[in-house]
Structure 1
Amino acid sequence: MHKSTLKALALSLIICLTACSNEPKETHYELKEFQTISLLGDSLKIPQRSEAALKALNDNLEQAKTNFEADPSEMNTIWLGRRYAYLSDYQKAVEVFTDGLQKFPESYKLYRHRGHRYISLREFDKAVADYKKAYELMPKGVVEIEPDGAPNKLNIPLSNTQFNILYHYGLAHYLKGEFEQAEEIYKELLNNYCDNLDLFVATTDWLYMTLMRQEKKEEAEKLLNNILTEMKVLETAKELTEVANAIMLDKILDYKTEIVENDSYYKRLLMYKGELAVEELFETDNDDVALSLATQGYGVANWYLYNGDSDKAKEILEKVLDGTSWAAFGYIAAEADMKRLQ
């Protein structure tokens, strides 16, 4: 080849490489719209979000990518997967957690998060297997605070890794209709890892439903004796500030007797106890109406089921399934129940 031709080719290559390097990098992750098939055969897709909400989630994802590229540690892997999950790309989250487990095969935390997203994708057998492994690997008799990706009103994480492993482990069995196994797990959770009222009411609620599904009505009703009408749901800025200061200053932890996050579960329990009208569960001032409908609507459907009105239960389940929060546990449980009732 002639020297002048070689020079021309080399110059063209340099120009091309320079142009390519100057191209803007992709700043936002492109979501996979289709995620999975529901238990009833429907396609489940990424929900619509506002431009502002999507930007905030993508910004968080970009930061997680940067952290992971700088240091692909166990924790940075977890956060990368969690950030994909907050964008509702559960398939990608599972992929990240799976890659992480190749590098950190003893990570009960990675198993915990992958199992959660298997539940989101309706792969309950895989979720049970992950939580079984996570439970075997996790330290027992201690609580390790788990940081929040979506902070609560206090901006203080209230859950712990041990709680989340057992909570989701029990849920996976519940969704499969394996209520005896779920009962055993929820009881261990209630006795050992519920160190504040939010965790207590959430676990009590699922254990109550699990017992009722096994027609253990007397035992279920005994649980409700621990649910008091004077339990306080924190709402005002003053209340939240006082409790936050008490925690930060290591004073008496009043938040252990006050509800910050799980008021929906509390309302369900009061309804089961007969101290809250069924209709009141559909009244909400929560910003996420769809999530509240999924959580509280599922409780109402259960109430009708327990009282022998399966037609009304189906009607409420259909309302839940008309909502958009298809990754909510109440929504997934509504799918499972509707499938059993068909």
Structure 2
Amino acid sequence: MEDSRSWSRAWRGAAACGMLALSLGAAACGGGAENEGTPGMLPEGAEAFSLLGEPLYPNPAPAEVAAEQARDLREARADYDADPNDADAIIWLGRRIAYMGSYRDAIEVFSEGIEKHPADARMYRHRGHRWISVREFDRAIEDLSHAAGLVEGEDDEVEPDGQPNARGIPTSTLQSNIHYHLALALYLKGEFETALDSYEAYRAVTTNPDQLVAISHWWYMALRRLGRDQEAAAVLEPVTTDLDVIENTSYHRLLLMYKGELEADDLWDPASEDPAGVAIAYGVATWHLYNGREAQAEEMYRRILQGSGWAGFGYIAAEAEIARLEDGGA
């Protein structure tokens, strides 16, 4: 992207097709964008190709949610127009666009932010997250690794929620989100050993139960995939039923299941369209995988992929598992 003019052109094009500025149909205006790492051009309206080669299209939100998101986007756009060089305005514009499912447009906004604020780790953190959404894991790893370098030795900061929880208490920080998404991108590539450093880095900045259960879930699975069962068991030790978890209750329940305190069958719900429910389904399926029930795990992964929540991390992870199986990998 040469400068903010290219984003302005993208915005005007979206507005002309009556989408991005007005409704959740925003992402449909992104057709024709090239998805590097995947042959060919994206079909009109698609945001990405799945790891199995299928085009992925935005899912419409309920009318009430769509109206609220459109309002939030208009406010973010107004703040950006008032000062296009303001880092916070750029970040919130990109975040609001991403919440509407228009990941390619969000990536372009964060790219503009990187050009204007190359030392601001937040730009790389958010762009890295959205590279994961569109299945471009190498780009995500590059951005998130750079962000990790920028914040090394710096004080951490609370990251405000774009979609606040019921208590209105933010539970994540800039550094925890950088390390979380970096570890996730590596995990999705099957680079479980390499991901361990990012889990350690996340644990070093963990300050609340939500952070603890979020990282412990993926960390535990990576260690089990590596056959390092004693280390995996140690990850579970701080997890108890009485943890005051605000947001990440799905991860908390999975960890209790790994400890034998909940039944896997009680958690398994492949029909869930909620990202948290899909994350639970993926965790249960993978528990069967590293406990030697590969055929059952594969069947469960394929059940997950029958859903429509393709942007959720549990869905992407299930997709990555099937892609590896179809490529003959472990």
TM interval, shorter chain, is: 0.7 to 0.9
Give the match for residue 104 of structure 2: 91
Q: Is the 8 A contact 2:269 2:281 kept in 1?
A: no
Query: Which residue of the other structure, out of 316, 324, 327, is the alignment partner of 1:340?
Result: 324
What is the CA-CA distance between 1:123 and the residue it aligns to? 0.3
Please tell me the residue identity of whatever aligns with 1:317. Answer: Y
For 1:128 and 1:297, locate their aligned partners in 2 and report how far apart those are by CA, in whole Å: 25
Q: Is the 8 A contact 1:290 1:323 kept in 2?
A: no
Q: Is the 8 A contact 2:165 2:246 kept in 1?
A: yes
For 1:302 and 1:205, locate their aligned partners in 2 and report how far apart those are by CA, in whole Å: 11
What is the CA-CA distance between 1:113 and the residue it aligns to? 0.2
Give the match for residue 28 of structure 1: 22
Query: Which residue of the other structure, out of 280, 284, 293, is the alignment partner of 1:296?
Result: 280
Give the match for residue 277 of structure 1: 263
**Post-superposition, which runs of at least 4 consecutive aligned residues in structure 1 deviate over 3 A?**
none
Post-superposition Cα deviations, 1:151-203, rounded to whole Å, max 9, x if no partner, equal 0011121110010001101111111111111011101211x211000000111
Percent identity, please: 42
Query: Which residue of the other structure, out of 94, 101, 126, is the alignment partner of 1:113?
Result: 126
Query: Which residue of the other structure, out of 214, 217, 223, is the alignment partner of 2:226?
Result: 214
Give the match for residue 264 of structure 1: 250
The unaligned stretches of length 5 or more in structure 1 are: 1-24, 232-257
For 2:156 and 2:168, locate their aligned partners in 1 and report how far apart those are by CA, in whole Å: 19
Q: Is the 8 A contact 2:128 2:140 kept in 1?
A: yes
The unaligned stretches of length 5 or more in structure 2 are: 1-17, 29-44
Give the match for residue 181 of structure 1: 194
Does 2:71 match 1:59?
yes
Give the match for residue 205 of structure 2: 193
Query: Which residue of the other structure, out of 159, 172, 176, is the alignment partner of 1:146?
Result: 159
Q: Is the 8 A contact 1:38 1:44 kept in 2?
A: yes
Please tell me the residue identity of whatever aligns with 2:274. Answer: A
Aligned residues: 288
For 2:254 and 2:172, locate their aligned partners in 1 and report how far apart those are by CA, in whole Å: 20
Q: Provide the aligned C-alpha RMSD in A.
A: 1.7
For 1:142 and 1:203, locate their aligned partners in 2 and report how far apart those are by CA, in whole Å: 20
Higher-Rg structure is 1
For 1:229 and 1:104, locate their aligned partners in 2 and report how far apart those are by CA, in whole Å: 43
What is the CA-CA distance between 1:309 and the residue it aligns to? 0.8
Q: TM-score, with normalisation over the residues of structure 2?
A: 0.84
What is the CA-CA distance between 1:142 and the residue it aligns to? 2.5
What is the CA-CA distance between 1:290 and the residue it aligns to? 2.9
For 1:330 and 1:140, locate their aligned partners in 2 and report how far apart those are by CA, in whole Å: 31
